[in-house]
Amino acid sequence: MLQGIQDMGSQAMDLYNYLIAGFDPRISSYPLMQNPVPMSIILLCYLFFVLHLGPRFMANRNPFQLKEAMIVYNFFLVALSIYIVYEFLMSGWATTYTWRCDPIDTSNSPEALRMVHVAWVFWFSKIIELMDTIFFVLRKKHGQITFLHIFHHSFMPWTWWWGVNYAPGGMGSFHAMVNSTVHIIMYFYYGLSAAGPRFQKFLWWKKHMTAIQLTQFVLISIHATQWYFMSSCGYQFPVFIHLVWIYGTLFFVLFSNFWIQAYVKGKRLPKQGMKNQNGTAVHTNGKHLENGSKHRKYVTSDGFIHENGTSNGHSTSNSSAHYDNGKMKRA
């Protein structure tokens, strides 16, 4: 039995060494790219904090007020996403790529190295975006920490780490460019939302955010589907085309389910008699007391919680929606 365990360990090490040997040598000098251990530790720590340590730490504490930090964070990600999209365009998608079968340029040309760089920046932006959930935990917005949210924030950086190491560029990078384009819109929206009620008039497109997310997954899946109908294609790592197609389709299904639950079935409604995160009762007549201020909440056909009064010290109008870290708090 001991010999069998040793043989399995040896085979596992052989597989690990084989996987490492296939990495693109141009990416080896970038931080956290030498082996999957540091990246995996970061994601495991993220999951441990979000699912256990953070809620336990906040159990007997009041929610942190992080308005300024969230504004800076969201607009920083807007700027970073703009940079990423521009670099993807300039390193291939707006210059030499055909938007169909585009192999990875494995040379050391300036354009190829530029693509390697932006591929790494895109991956690292996914690590930065883990702060989305950290803000939820510290502000005790537990309702926003869904399976979809955690799966999206942990699964994508883990898979993209392998993608960057093997295939920094080519047709497999299309979904990264599209995702960053969506994030320009998304984090701009979150930043304005976090800035307070006076910016609500600029958020008329709030109901379209989920539709924008769904559109990106359709585009990603359509682009990847081309590969299956090509007579020949020189893209070096078809496995990533399969993963991208699965990714686009899976997240389309998950976000569609969210859309149906939130907008069609209206199941994300506040329960009668429930308590808010500060322990204040919400009565069946819609009135409640939050941080000492009276509120009236009501749900409109768009699926958002509208309120009259103040929320955590910030005044809102009758037609304004309630937001968590800039994300709409749907009914």
What is the DSSP annotation of 278-293? TS-BB-TTSEEEETTE
Identify the pLDDT of residue 254: 80
> Counting beta carbons within 10 angstroms of the beta carbon of residue 153, is it exposed (0 to 12), middle (13 to 18) or buried (19 or more)?
buried
Residue 227, domain member (yes or no):
yes
Residue 116, domain member (yes or no):
yes
Residue 304, domain member (yes or no):
no
**Which helix (H) or strand (E) element contains residue 327?**
strand 327-328
Whole-number Å distance between alpha carbons of 331 and 329:
7
Give how many domains the chain has, as a whole number: 1
- How many Å separate Cα 277 from the centre of its chain? 24
In tens, the pLDDT along 35-81 reads 999 999 999 999 999 999 999 999 999 999 999 999 999 999 999 99
Q: Is 152 a catalytic residue?
A: yes
φ and ψ of 315, to 5 deg? -70, 145
Whole-number Å distance between alpha carbons of 78 and 212:
16
Residues 6+ apart with CB under 8 A from 75: 187, 188, 191
Residue 223, domain member (yes or no):
yes
Whole-number Å distance between alpha carbons of 245 and 249:
6
What pTM does this model have?
0.78
- How many Å separate Cα 321 from the centre of its chain? 22
Other CB atoms within 10 Å distance of the CB of residue 96? 11
Identify the pLDDT of residue 305: 36
Q: By C-alpha distance, which of 151, 153, 175 is closest to 163?
A: 175
Place of tokens 């969506």: 182
Q: Residue 133 has which token pair?
A: 């959930």
Identify the pLDDT of residue 267: 63
Task: Tell me which residues of the chain have a pLDDT lower than 70.
Answer: 266-331
Residue 282, domain member (yes or no):
no
Domain assignment of residue 188, given as a range: 65-264
Whole-number Å distance between alpha carbons of 318 and 328:
16
Identify the pLDDT of residue 309: 36
Residue 331, domain member (yes or no):
no
DSSP 311: E
Q: By C-alpha distance, which of 199, 204, 232 is closest to 314?
A: 199
Identify the pLDDT of residue 125: 98
Spot the catalytic one: 117, 149, 152, 242. 152
Residue 317, domain member (yes or no):
no
Residue 329, domain member (yes or no):
no
